[in-house]
Amino acid sequence: MKENVVRITSGSITRLKQLQPSTFNFITTPGDRLEGFIAHEAQTVVPQAVTGVRDGTETVINDAGAEVTQPRIQGMDNSHLVPLLVAALQEAIARIEALEG
């Protein structure tokens, strides 16, 4: 089912350092602090983890039958970060082992 498989063997630490983990709350739940990423920032590093377009909108018909424009929020699937995290850890372990040797 897969082709053109290439192992992530270098550069993962550099990419990982570009991610900017943050704490934040959603406007609708100001008392709930979360840890995560700002989707459009993470998209530059791991594009497959992000769906949607920054500041995207969509036109819908509201309950009154009027056409309205509303935000279409970007989303993130953090599971797409796992391969990068594993590769960065493997790269770091290799560096540590080289220094210990």
pLDDT reported for residue 97: 97
- Convert the pLDDT of each residue in 5-41 to its tens digit: 999 989 999 999 999 999 999 999 999 999 999 999 9
Residue whose C-alpha is closest to residue 73's, from 48, 51, 46: 51
Residue whose C-alpha is closest to residue 47's, from 22, 91, 90, 15: 15
pTM across the whole model: 0.81
Q: In the CATH hierarchy, which fold is given to the domain comprising 12-100?
A: Arc Repressor Mutant, subunit A (1.10.10)
Are 35 and 21 in contact by the 8 Å Cβ rule? The answer is yes
- Convert the pLDDT of each residue in 39-88 to its tens digit: 999 999 999 999 999 999 999 999 999 999 999 999 999 999 999 999 99
How far is the C-alpha of 85 from the C-alpha of 13, rounded, in Å? 8
